[in-house]
């Protein structure tokens, strides 16, 4: 069954691989963008907590 699927895919997929590099780079950029988005979201949440703790501490002085 798997061999049949592979042979079917090979017949219907284009044999020209000129655009393959471009699509691989696009996928790589997409993955990197998701990682950066996740990191910035987490960092933003942590920074917000840190600044809130500092503000609470300073407010306690007065």
Cα separations in angstroms, 33 against 22, 42, 43, 45, 46: 16, 14, 15, 18, 20
Q: What is the DSSP string of 1-62?
A: -HHHHHHHHHHHS-S--TTHHHHHHHHHHHHHHHHHHHHHHHHHHHHHHHHHHHHHHHHHH-
- 9-18 pLDDT, tens digit per residue, is 777 776 666 6
The domain ranges of the chain are: 19-61
- 20-50 pLDDT, tens digit per residue, is 778 888 899 999 999 999 988 888 888 888 8
Full-prediction pTM beyond 0.95?
no
Tokens of 46: 């942590």
């Amino acid at each position: 069954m798997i061999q049949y699927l592979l042979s079917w895919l090979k017949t219907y997929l284009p044999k020209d691989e000129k655009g393959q590099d471009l699509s691989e780079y696009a996928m790589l950029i997409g993955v990197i963008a998701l990682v950066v988005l996740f990191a910035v979201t987490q960092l933003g949440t942590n920074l917000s907590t840190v600044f809130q703790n500092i503000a609470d501490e300073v407010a306690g002085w007065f």
